[in-house]
Structure 1
Amino acid sequence: MKFVDYVTISVKSGRGGPGSAHFRRAKYEPSGGPDGGDGGAGGSVSLVGDPSLYTLLDLRYNRHHKAESGQPGQGAQKSGKSGTDILIRVPLGTVAKDGETDEVLGEITEEGQEIMLAKGGLGGRGNVHFKSATRQSPQYAQPGTEGEEREVTLELKLLADVGLVGFPNAGKSTLVSSLSAAKPKIADYPFTTLEPSLGMVYLGDWRSFVIADIPGLIEGASDGKGLGIRFLKHVERNAVLLFCIPAEEEKPGEAYSTLLAELEAFSPHLLDKPRMVALTKMDIVGPELAPEWVAQARTRFPEDIEVLPVSAVAQTGLGPLKEALWKRIEKDREEA
């Protein structure tokens, strides 16, 4: 499935049905009073959260959404049928903005949550409502009101507990595939991951969390270089950031600082998120040199940053990494 995280759609709600200017006519009541019913309300257009969706792909090919108009009122005070509402299903983490003003209309974060994009027009009142002591036979009824029409921009920001941050070929995709059942594309060339992928990590005892493989960053990503800010926005929604620094990196401390600087340049509040470091590709170092190498590498990072060595290929260090991530996630959930 192709990952689509940005799309603009056109929505239009239905017009309200006109009221009826009808008069009661019966065999023994040829000049009965007004009995016109109300027009039906126009259908509305809303977003609704669906956790089974992970992309806005369907909306790329279905951009126009028009709800039904309400039906006219009828005699005998019968109301017209209301137009059917349209519910546009979107993934959790979808932000809706007005296409012209860029005003945020809302964001979908929970299953079943709804955001109204265009409210249906009101049905007009029938002439029965306008009868009075001085107006016994009102000849008119209200027309229905127009519906709303607007362009709406939808932007998806992934909802994941852990977001992986690192340069291209830092071993993020391999790590995700080892921790979860996700199958991201893996190859030995830059920007293998061209779109984010989610994986569910299970620890047993009913414990689980969602991990997101974010495409690799390069220096200047916050200015649009490489894959740029297109994917930096997904990091905003992660509870914990896991920096992946490969064992082949000659200056791990500087690599970490560069990644941190790109996040700060994009959004300073990202520095408030809990951070951990995974030293990936430890199979390159070998089991004999690993303890000494890790001890030396840990001195290159701030003392308050937890550093864990892992090898997705050799399947080492994965258990401790999952437990450490779970502790951070649990703490974040408690604070939230």
Structure 2
Amino acid sequence: MIESTLLISAGQILLGIVGGLVAHAVVFAVLPRLAAGLERSTLRILLKRLRAPSRLIFPLLGIQVVLPAVDALPEMAGHLLTLAVYAAFIWTALALLQVLEEVVKGRHDVGVEDNLEARRIHTQIGVLTRSLMVIVVIVGVAAALMTFDRIRALGTAMLASAGLAGLVLGLATRPVLENLFAGLQIALTQPIRLDDVVIIDGEWGRIEEITTTYVVVRIWDERRLIVPFSKVISDSFQNWTRHSSEILGTVFIHTDYRVPVDAVRAELHRIVEGREEWDGRVCVLQVTDARPATLELRALVSARTAGKAWDLRVHLREKLVEFLQREHPESLPRTRVELPAPVGAPGGHPSGPPELAPAPAEG
């Protein structure tokens, strides 16, 4: 009699699971077709992200429908059902956070030329959603574990003796909490943003990714520099695009003292006026140093982004050197050596060895 009752209960639960899966298949076969004709992308993103967790939610709803008709439900099955409910809530919460992140990022395009505001929004929403995901997982798993009697008793005992146990727990979770709060601090204060041009540890690169514990910097030669949040918060570094992507680039040329500075300045203006990298704000040539053997010329130009500034700098350096070689070769750096005048020449030694003065007489 008991075995037959258990078989009937299992059949009823199985029926609820199958009904939930069928309902899931029908819903997600119809709704995407309806959303395809809508201009709003939020619904399409929501359906895409909720498709996977709903495969667990729909069967659980089916079980809840048939549960009142179930005569005998084993204790273990009830506990598994409770754990499945917790898992569904965690999974759904993570999916909704992903929907929020994707919708916000979709409304702020970082592909535009002036993308400072878009990069700020992308950084904030990325770090905040990842931090919230960590909190959701920790709280959800802790709540699921508390459904076990032994773990709940252990937790009560730890709260009763909160001294040593709290110290051990604090030391164990310190790195996680430190990175979590550092991530929130970065999201709020934003010393860096996605796609920022930075120099960290002497390496020039762009912020490619900001995770929950570290920052990925894409260096100019395609290497990746992994920087922990603690280093970003505590150490100093250069951020070239903190307030704007516009930047100044410099080109240094060392020449001879006979260089015609005005001609080089005119050539600089002629070169930059034909380049799309130049934004038209700054184009200056100055003599910044006079060394014993050479003059130092500095060309200062502006560009809208660091990448364009780099391309403009290398182009200017090449063309200015080419101009000096072609038009003013005497202006290239030279090494001068002053030789003594030949013997017999004006200012030189007289012909023949110099006469020795007679030695003074003794006495």
Structure with greater proportional helix content? 2
Structure with greater proportional strand content? 1
Q: TM-score, normalised by structure 1?
A: 0.27
